[in-house]
């Protein structure tokens, strides 16, 4: 399939594709959509940013258009994070005008009353995170007895996050006859076990090397002491153009770094697990709109951020596992654009860099550390975090004047 016009689609769905300028399918869409339209189970591995959402959304919507309307959940899409679930609902919403198909998002951190209202109104597509969906099932607030299309999106990430018991509990509530669609950036042993247990005679699709970053991302590394990382980041921000997504290991580290950048005059927002959903939405939207050049995040955002024009990704702290390196750097170099990834590693982490290179079969090019000012004291690690102001506008990020502080130990870690 080289063009969406080659598929036999309803007039409403075809119109919605055209109005959103979806004309030529990506490789994963071209290979996954035909067997899914035939009702086959599909297991697809592809790197982030390759169009997996549309690959399962088109067959689901077309399948629902062909059956009578009813107030039952017919399609279930499970994702690892709230951000990804919201992104999926938005993408599906672009394809449903004129179809009378309704959706509901079932996630934590958002209004339960609104979610239940959307379900009761007759949502035929539910996009959910495993924890909140299990809660609703236990309280009998939702029924999956008529759900015949199921998507496990970013299945490897859900297993990394410990959702296997929840996934099993959910899958046991589904009808025996169902169509399974499993999409993943990597196909690890744990995912293979999930496929063996719950997927029937699937069509297997692999686009590119799913265990290595995209070819259009340049990988660089600076070996630097932890106390000089913030100065190096400021140097890069002055040297290069474009937006920057910066990953830290912990929530407190993200807060601390974002405050340091704001004090240096950088338009910056922050997103991590302790921020409310409203704060996270505002931070992400401000980053997408260009109100903030930098978004500082923990790995909660590694697969939940879908912004096509992120120029650079910075691994301010190394990820816990090599596979997360793929998902972090996969936030840049999307939609055919070129991107760069900068990793800050201490001398003690040299073996970790070699481990990433070996496992992912990549070469990370070491760069000479530029001349930087002597390290200065940063915000003390005394448990008092000055939270950033609401991020609805760039000026809202202003912080109190800099005060004299003592230095802190960069080895201490906070909560994720």
Domains along the chain with CATH numbers = 4-207 (3.40.50.300), 217-397 (3.40.50.300)
Say whether 21 sits in a helix, a strand or coil: coil
- Please name the residue that has the structure tokens 């930098």: 294
- pLDDT, one tens digit per residue, over 338-378 is 889 999 999 999 999 999 888 888 899 999 999 887 765 44
Q: Above 50 in pLDDT, residue 144? A: yes
pLDDT confidence bin for 162, thresholds 50/70/90: confident
Q: Above 90 in pLDDT, residue 416? A: no
Average predicted confidence (pLDDT) for the chain: 84
pLDDT confidence bin for 384, thresholds 50/70/90: very low
List Cβ neighbours of 358 (8 Å cut-off, separation of 6 or more): none
pLDDT confidence bin for 98, thresholds 50/70/90: very high
Side-chain-side CA neighbours of residue 48 (13 Å): 27
On whether the CB atoms of residues 192 and 165 are closer than 8 A, the answer is no
List Cβ neighbours of 3 (8 Å cut-off, separation of 6 or more): 23, 24, 25
The confidence score (pLDDT) of residue 378 equals 45
CA 226-231-232 angle, 5° bins: 80
Both ends of the chain: CA-CA distance in Å? 43
Q: Above 60 in pLDDT, residue 198? A: yes
For the ranges 93-97, 122-126, 224-228, 379-383, the lowest mean pLDDT is seen at 379-383
Residue 284 to residues 173, 214, 245: CA-CA distances in angstroms?
Answer: 34, 23, 11
Q: Above 70 in pLDDT, residue 410? A: no
Q: Above 60 in pLDDT, residue 87? A: yes
Say whether 296 sits in a helix, a strand or coil: strand
The confidence score (pLDDT) of residue 157 equals 80
pLDDT (average), residues 76-93: 93
The confidence score (pLDDT) of residue 40 equals 96
Q: Above 80 in pLDDT, residue 329? A: yes
Q: DSSP states of 348-382 as a string?
A: GGHHHHHHHHHHHT--PEEEPPPP-PPP---S--S
């Amino acid at each position: 399939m080289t063009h969406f016009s080659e598929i036999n689609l309803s007039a409403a769905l075809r119109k919605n594709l055209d109005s959103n300028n979806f004309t030529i399918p990506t490789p994963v869409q071209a290979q996954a959509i035909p067997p899914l339209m035939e009702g086959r189970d599909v297991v697809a591995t592809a790197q982030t940013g390759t169009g997996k959402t549309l690959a399962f959304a088109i067959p689901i919507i077309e399948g629902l258009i062909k059956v009578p309307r009813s107030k039952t959940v017919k399609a279930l899409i499970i994702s690892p994070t709230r951000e990804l679930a919201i992104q999926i609902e938005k993408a599906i919403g672009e394809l449903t005008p004129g179809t009378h198909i309704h959706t509901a998002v079932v996630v934590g951190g958002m209004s339960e009353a609104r979610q239940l209202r959307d379900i009761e109104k007759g949502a035929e597509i539910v996009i959910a995170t495993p924890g909140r969906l299990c809660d609703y099932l236990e309280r009998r607030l939702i029924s999956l007895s008529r759900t015949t299309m199921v998507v496990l999106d970013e299945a490897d990430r859900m297993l990394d996050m410990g959702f296997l018991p929840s996934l099993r509990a959910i899958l046991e509530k589904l009808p025996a006859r169902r169509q399974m669609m499993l999409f993943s950036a990597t196909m690890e042993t744990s995912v293979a076990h999930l496929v063996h247990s719950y997927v029937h005679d699937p069509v297997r699709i692999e686009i590119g090397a799913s265990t290595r970053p995209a070819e259009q991302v340049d990988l660089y590394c600076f070996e630097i002491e932890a106390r000089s990382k913030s100065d190096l980041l400021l140097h890069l921000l002055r040297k290069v153009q474009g937006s920057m997504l910066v990953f830290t290991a912990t929530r407190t580290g993200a807060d601390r770094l974002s405050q340091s950048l704001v004090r240096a005059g950088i338009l910056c927002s922050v997103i991590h697990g302790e921020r409310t959903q409203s704060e996270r939405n505002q931070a992400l939207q401000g980053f997408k709109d260009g109100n903030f050049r930098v978004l500082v995040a923990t790995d909660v955002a590694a697969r939940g951020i879908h912004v096509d024009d992120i120029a650079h990704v910075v691994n301010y702290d190394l990820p816990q596992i090599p596979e997360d390196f793929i998902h972090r750097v996969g936030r840049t170099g999307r939609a055919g654009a070129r991107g760069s990834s900068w990793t800050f590693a201490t001398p003690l982490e040299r073996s970790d860099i070699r481990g990433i290179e070996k496992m992912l079969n990549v070469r990370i090019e070491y760069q000479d550390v530029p001349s930087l000012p002597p390290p200065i004291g940063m915000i003390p690690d005394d448990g008092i975090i000055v939270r950033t102001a609401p991020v609805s506008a760039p000026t809202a990020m202003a912080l109190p004047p800099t005060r004299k502080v003592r230095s802190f130990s960069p080895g201490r870690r906070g909560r994720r």
